Structure 1
Amino acid sequence: MATTEPTTRRTVLQGEPPFTVDDLLRFPDDGNRYELFNGSLLVSPSPTPMHQFVSLRLVRILEDAAPAEFQPLQEVNLRVGRRDFFIPDLVVVPAAAVAETELMFRPEDVLLAVEIVSPTTEARDRHLKRAAYAAAGIPVYWRVELGEGPSIHVHELAGDEYKPAERHEAGETAALLAPFEVRFDPGALLLPRT
């Protein structure tokens, strides 16, 4: 599985496309983040420092607001199926699921999935992951757009698709109700610690 520094050497991957999650578990620790969508390999570098900063800020906001039965976590393994595996930037899961999960969460454990859009993941976060998380039954998906001030696009599940996003911009208070009540200005995600 992935580490934090990419390498320039050539990586030889175990297995043949379409890949399975079992194949993925045999991949070398070469600095890349590997995800699977219907057996197709999605590869991305480790998150940038700004991406990590925003993720950490959002975890703190969610932890401060979360009732004890909910736990926000960063970059967890999410096994959706035999050939689908994702690493959301942030999730909220029931606290009990943390103790019961060894390596990978199941979609039914995830109450909220969050992706922070980076230049290398725009299409995945805006389209592919939104559709995959909806198909997996994840009730709420937030997409954080750093280039918009930042803004948060909130998608709530209706049937097997997400409703059109509700957009919350920097400078306004987003009052969100799911998976629990939380209020914050998306602009706070970029503010330095005080």
Structure 2
Amino acid sequence: MNAIPGPLILPSRPPFTVDDLLDFPDDGNRYELFDGSLLVSPPVTPRHQYALSRLARILQDAAPSELEPLPTIGLRASSQDFFIPDLVMVPAKSVDETELMFAPRDILLAVELVGPSTQARDRHLKRAAYAAAGIPAYWRIELSEGPSVHVHELAGDDYKPAERYEAGEVANLLAPFEVSFDPAALTRPRG
């Protein structure tokens, strides 16, 4: 018989720092920070993983060799801001130079696949945080919309209004490199 886990006992008190996160339990949840406040997300759904895997493959096939798509990396934006984007594009050389967490300067594209428990976070909080960190491009993928891809490009210290690409139309994107795909490919069965 499996024991029922007890309450989570945090190793420190808010506001939390990125260094505090290193002492958090490895319990399958995603622990992120926004301005020292703890953001906890449950493990992602199989549909989310499937779409993420498909997107990583599309980007890997289209990217120049000096860029690398990576899923679920640590992004340290400040001492009290830490995020785990679903997928990022980084210079390949930064992979070897980064031991634990990437800095915003390493991230050319951050991608979030919106899930039931992360809607407000992905649509608003992360959009603002990634813009403030200076990440040049942010893609928000709405799986519940067929799926659709919302492309945000940095202009100054904020993102321009998103360009939306729906399932059934080809998104011809230029940043951080040229890539074209139908958002429907993210959830379509192989073959």
Superposed pair shares fold, TM > 0.5: yes
Runs of 4+ in 1 over 2 A off after TM superposition: none
- In structure 2, distance between residues paired with 1:31 and 1:156: 32
Determine which of 17, 30, 34 is the counterpart of 2:31: 34
1:101 counterpart = 2:98 = yes
**How far is 1:78 from its partner?**
0.3
Structure 1: any 5+ residue segments left out of the alignment? 1-6
Q: 3-state DSSP class of the match of 1:56?
A: helix
Determine which of 3, 7, 11 is the counterpart of 1:10: 7
1:193 counterpart = 2:190 = yes
> Residue type matched to 1:107 in 2?
P
Q: CA RMSD in A?
A: 0.8
* TM-score computed with the length of structure 2 as normaliser: 0.97
Q: Quote the residue 2:145 is aligned against.
A: 148
> Residue type matched to 1:82 in 2?
S
Q: Quote the residue 2:54 is aligned against.
A: 57
* TM-score computed with the length of structure 1 as normaliser: 0.95
Residues 76-115 of structure 1 mapped to structure 2, 5 A cutoff: 76-115=73-112
- Aligned pair count reads 188
1:47 counterpart = 2:40 = no
- In structure 1, distance between residues paired with 2:11 and 2:23: 6
**How far is 1:164 from its partner?**
0.3
Q: Could you report, residue by residue, the CA deviation over 1:47-99 in whole angstroms, capped at 9, with x for unpaired residues?
A: 10000000000000000000000000100000000000000000000000011
Determine which of 127, 138, 143 is the counterpart of 2:135: 138
> Residue type matched to 2:134 in 1?
G
Q: 3-state DSSP class of the match of 1:71?
A: strand
Q: Quote the residue 1:159 is aligned against.
A: 156
Q: CA distance change for structure 1 residues 13 and 61 in 2, over 3 Å: closer, same or farther?
A: same
User: Percent of pairs identical after alignment?
Assistant: 71
